């Protein structure tokens, strides 16, 4: 018997994904109106209540609700963001045409993360069509500003009474795809610190060896950061079991100062993007940075562009009934799972401070391509993910 090849291009969910990918919601001049209209129409077609909350100027959050049989119970939240990063580099396919070639759909947001938004909606649509009713209420949230850090989106939303009324007991947010056969589940994220070191000193002619030199000071600080960077990078080399999410990463991202080549400037500024591993003691790490600055000399100060608090990873053991239910649902589909720590930041960090939250996107057999040119996703993987979400919802929304 020969297997019948499925034509996914005619799948209703694929057509919905194409239409959503064609909605431009891209930074820096992002406008969410068309996305809100599209998603609200999808919810209405399913028969679900959709409500928009303006959490900051021009940054709406859409919440779609499927009420459960016991709405007083803590609810399930499936979160996704509406915005995408800008289009850069060379694309074989137009980034907003949602073209399909060789079983792949191409477009900005195909992986990050418009596909998940449609999968969430389609999973609920599928369960309702099959006559299923869940014990717990399920909310689908579609949020703004994630690609800029979420400060004007989810960070503000979780502070509102509207969010607290959702009574969220467990949340799923975006993960990453995997080139292998396994799904990746992330139970924690590294903490984002963006640090600016300002080094001031004596300005003067470039032919002199001036004392109290800002260049010497910034060199000392940069050396200390880069030495620590090398140490963490070596850990990855020495221990094959570690991933990038398990170690602290440090990158010098900006170096500013000087006007003319023949003038030693009064000030140099070095900016570092640091992502702290979940095991790092924040207080001790900050003291170490302050010590480096003191070693460099007088007139060296530390400023934080971002200094996020430590958020403990979500427990993935017997104490977390939602995780156990989700894990069993995956096992019933014979899909292996690998647990990791998210290397970058997502909106899940804001949710995780209030409830158990996992980063998960049902994408396998495809390399991760967030923010890359020709971002794409196999249609088979996309459709498979809808069934995965259905099974997960049946499990976690019926946890006793």
CA–CA separation, 346 and 79 (whole Å):
11
Give Cα 200 distance to the centre of its chain: 36
Active-site residue flag, 266: no
Nearest to 383 by CA among 194, 105, 153: 105
Nearest to 119 by CA among 174, 58, 157: 174
Give Cα 249 distance to the centre of its chain: 17
Q: End-to-end alpha-carbon separation of the chain, Å?
A: 44
Strand order in the sheet with 376-378: 100-101, 104-106, 376-378
- Look up residue 309 and give its DSSP letter: P
Active-site residue flag, 122: no
Residues facing 56 on adjacent strands: 59
Coil, helix or strand for 391? helix
Task: Identify whether the C-beta of residue 136 lies closer than 8 Å to the C-beta of residue 75.
Answer: yes
CA–CA separation, 377 and 177 (whole Å):
9
| Other beta carbons within 10 Å of 32 | 23
112, 146, 147, 246: the catalytic one is 146
- Look up residue 314 and give its DSSP letter: P
CA torsion angle 289 293 295 299 (round to 10) = -170
83, 173, 189, 246: the catalytic one is 83
| Active centre residues (catalytic) | 83, 146
């Amino acid at each position: 018997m020969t297997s019948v090849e499925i034509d996914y291009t005619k799948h209703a969910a694929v057509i919905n994904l194409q239409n959503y990918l064609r909605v431009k919601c891209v930074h820096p001049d992002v406008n969410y109106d068309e996305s809100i209209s599209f998603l609200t129409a999808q919810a209405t077609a399913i028969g679900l209540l959709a409500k928009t909350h303006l959490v900051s100027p021009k940054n709406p959050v859409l919440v779609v609700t499927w009420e459960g049989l016991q709405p007083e119970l803590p609810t399930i939240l499936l979160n996704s963001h509406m915005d995408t990063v800008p289009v850069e580099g060379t694309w074989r396919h137009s980034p907003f045409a949602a073209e399909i070639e060789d079983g792949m759909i191409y477009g900005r947001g195909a992986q990050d993360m418009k596909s998940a938004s449609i999968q969430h909606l389609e999973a609920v649509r599928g369960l309702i069509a099959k006559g299923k009713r869940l014990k717990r209420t399920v909310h689908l949230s579609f949020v703004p500003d994630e690609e800029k850090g979420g400060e004007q989106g989810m960070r503000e939303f979780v502070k509102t009474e509207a969010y607290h009324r959702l009574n969220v007991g467990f949340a799923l947010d975006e993960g990453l795809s995997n080139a292998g056969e396994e799904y990746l589940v992330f139970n924690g994220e590294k903490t984002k610190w963006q640090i600016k070191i300002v080094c001031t000193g004596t300005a003067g002619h470039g032919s002199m060896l001036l004392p109290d030199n800002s260049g010497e000071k910034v060199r000392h600080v940069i050396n200390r950061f880069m030495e620590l960077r090398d140490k963490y990078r070596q850990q990855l080399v020495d221990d094959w079991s570690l991933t990038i999410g398990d170690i602290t990463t440090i990158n010098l991202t900006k170096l500013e100062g000087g006007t003319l080549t023949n003038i030693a400037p009064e000030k140099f500024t070095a900016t570092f993007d640091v992502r702290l591993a979940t095991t790092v003691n924040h207080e001790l790490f900050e003291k170490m940075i302050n010590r480096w600055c003191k070693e460099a000399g007088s007139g060296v100060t530390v400023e934080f562009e971002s200094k996020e608090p430590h958020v403990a990873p979500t427990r993935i053991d017997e104490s977390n009934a939602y995780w156990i239910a989700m894990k069993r649902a995956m096992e019933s589909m014979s899909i292996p799972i690998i647990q990791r720590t998210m290397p970058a930041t997502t909106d899940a960090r804001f949710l995780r401070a209030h409830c158990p939250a996992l980063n998960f996107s049902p994408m396998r057999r495809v390399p991760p391509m967030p923010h890359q040119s020709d971002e794409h996703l196999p249609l088979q993987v996309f459709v498979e993910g809808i069934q995965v979400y259905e099974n997960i919802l049946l499990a976690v929304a019926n946890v006793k």
